[in-house]
A = this chain, B = another copy of it.
Amino acid sequence: MLALQDIWDSPVDDRTKGIPAGAALPLREIGAQGWNLLEGDTPLPAAVLRQSAIAHNVDWMRRFTELTGMLLCPHGKTSMSPQLFDRQLGAGAWGVTAATVSHLHVYRRFGVQRILLANQLVDPAGIRFILSELERDSGFDFYCLVDSLATVDILRKAAAESGCSRPIQLLVEVGQAGGRTGTRSVVQAIEVARAVHEAAPHLALRGVEGFEGVLEVADPGETLARIDKMLGEMSAVAARCEAEDLFADGPIIVSAGGSQYYDLPPLLQKRLDTRREAILVLRSGCYITHDSSWFSEYAKAIAARMPEVGELGEGLRPAIEVWAYVQSLPEPGLAIVTMGKRDASFDVHMPTPLKWHRNGMGAPTPLAGHQVLRMNDQHAYLAMPADSPLGVGDRVGFGIAHPCTTFDRWSVMMVVDDDYRVVDAIRTFF
């Protein structure tokens, strides 16, 4: 589907973190080298993707969106890997969501034909790029967000000056006080929507968007109430825009849903009060790898709120592990490990020690009772119980919290089977 040839052909060598000394080969050949993480073939730290978990998760989310009647436009910022986008599109994704102008470059270079930029576009270089792509390729279907008259003005002027024959398609972003971007009231959203409508033929109002992930507060009940209010306002804005005939032709696009509360946007189906067809677009991105200690907690809450997910069988599986060596046992109860902030997420939780392995052992053994206390740039401090089996030179496999901030620390990630044989590799574009 996507034009991935450049990636598969791209040269990889040992200047890339995680690649063995002396290796110099096209990316496509990595899976045929017979490397095994547990045989010390690759230097550690190494971040790996578990092939079976990725396949399970892609299929799970396909079945979830079928169950809920949503379309999926997964956020590509998570992995920034066109090879994974291709898997997601192959499983029926409607498009790919982006956050930045550089994301747009990457997506277009690899042939993503439908992009939802879930962000305001005010960068003149970015606006010029989008207008030129719209003009160049009639099959390119692009949407972005707008939340102020100032942004409408910037986009309208740029589109008019460019002479582009197609409009920039916009969703008005509905936000909430204390949130991130987005209008702060229905009245304000309608004002923005009217300005977009008046900016035809350069701009076209196509729908309504919100992002519930930034509404979180300490109290879960209050968080749900805030999300409920946002969904209600999105519904009201859609109804008002239709009543005022502000939407351009085509189905109304209504989009919400990150990776924390993806059970809630489907509730919009019952609340939407538009005569015209509306399509609901979910933007979850982190589901593709899930994690071991953050989204995994949200998944439990989703299962509790939405028992129907039980119909899908086993839920999302953590697909990322970062492996490192025990390099020092300097004090009782403390191991220092060759993995740091440069290698694994630390913005939500510290990594979770999952299992360990010593040369000559078979499969890795689960590692209970250990905890990462903190990380420096290139080291982790691992608290150990008195009966810890770990010795200097042992390998420890960690789960992570928040895939986005682990993916962006690796330009190449190896894909492993359940025995930690390297069977493939992906390239990321951060």
Asked whether B391 lies within 8 Å of A328 as measured between CB atoms, the reply is no
- Bound state CA distance, A331 and B45, in angstroms? 43
Please tell me if A56 contacts chain B, counting CB pairs below 8 Å.
Answer: no
Identical copies of this chain, number: 2
Which chain B residues border A43 with CB–CB below 8 Å?
100-102, 105, 123, 125-126, 129
Do A330 and B40 form a contact, CB below 8 Å, given A325-B122, A347-B341, A405-B341?
A: no
Interface core residue of A214, A392, A404, A409 (most chain B CB under 10 Å): A392
- Bound state CA distance, A370 and B157, in angstroms? 29
Which chain B residues border A19 with CB–CB below 8 Å?
102, 105
Number of interface residues, chain A, beta carbon within 8 A: 77
Name A's interface SS: loop
| Segment of A144-152, A234-242, A360-368 in the binding face | A144-152
Q: Tell me the residues in window 57-78 of chain A with beta carbons closer than 8 Å to chain B beta carbons.
A: 77
| Segment of A172-180, A263-271, A304-312 in the binding face | A172-180
Please tell me if A294 contacts chain B, counting CB pairs below 8 Å.
Answer: no
Which chain B residues border A381 with CB–CB below 8 Å?
180
Instruction: State which of B179, B181, B404 has its C-beta within 8 Å of the C-beta of A377.
Output: B404
- Bound state CA distance, A148 and B329, in angstroms? 8
Give min CB distance, A282 to chain B, whole Å. Answer: 18
Do A430 and B404 form a contact, CB below 8 Å, given A99-B378, A328-B148?
A: no
Instruction: State which of B147, B150, B411 has its C-beta within 8 Å of the C-beta of A430.
Output: B411
Asked whether B336 lies within 8 Å of A181 as measured between CB atoms, the reply is yes
Instruction: State which of B102, B180, B392 has its C-beta within 8 Å of the C-beta of A151.
Output: B392
Interface core residue of A44, A184, A327, A429 (most chain B CB under 10 Å): A327
Do A125 and B325 form a contact, CB below 8 Å, given A102-B17, A180-B336, A381-B180?
A: no
- Bound state CA distance, A378 and B147, in angstroms? 17
Which chain B residues border A124 with CB–CB below 8 Å?
40, 359, 393
- Bound state CA distance, A84 and B341, in angstroms? 22
Closest B-chain residue to A285, C-beta based? B377
Sample 8 A-B pairs with CB under 8 A, ordered by A number: A13-B109, A20-B125, A40-B123, A154-B392, A177-B331, A180-B336, A181-B379, A214-B376
A residues near B, CB below 8 A? 13-22, 40-45, 77, 99-102, 105-106, 109, 119-120, 122-126, 128-129, 132, 147-148, 150-151, 154, 175, 177, 179-184, 214, 325-331, 336, 338, 341-342, 346-347, 359, 376-379, 381, 391-393, 404-405, 408-409, 411, 429-430
